[in-house]
Amino acid sequence: MNEIIMTQLSPKTLEQMVEKSLIKILKPFIEKLLKGNDKKKEDELLTPKQVADILKCTKPTLWNWEQKDILKPLRFGGLVRYSKSQIDEFIISREHNIIELNKKI
């Protein structure tokens, strides 16, 4: 049977508890991504549709991010591709920014 224990926490204590929990949850994923980047294999190239699906955004959003130097695709003639490692780094940086924003609240 699950018990619910009610206690008073200061905002700072709650913030520390949430941060600790997030780090515990995200750390294995980040380490896995970083280990994958250490491998000497070729970086997988993704289509704009694949990247839009991964990031849950639209292809025009990807184009806007390219114009703002947020993401840099590779161009081969008329083909546009994104490196998977760049997308992984983008995801990690966004998660880090969310944690930093939550610290400021």
pLDDT of the residue at 22: 82
CATH architecture of 12-104: Orthogonal Bundle (1.10)
Of 91, 101, 83, 92, which Cα lies nearest the Cα of 56?
A: 91
In a 3-state reduction of DSSP, which class is residue 55?
Answer: helix
Question: How much is the average pLDDT of 10-39?
Answer: 78
Question: pLDDT: is 45 or 32 the higher one?
Answer: 45
Q: How confident is the model at residue 93 (pLDDT cuts 50, 70, 90)?
A: confident
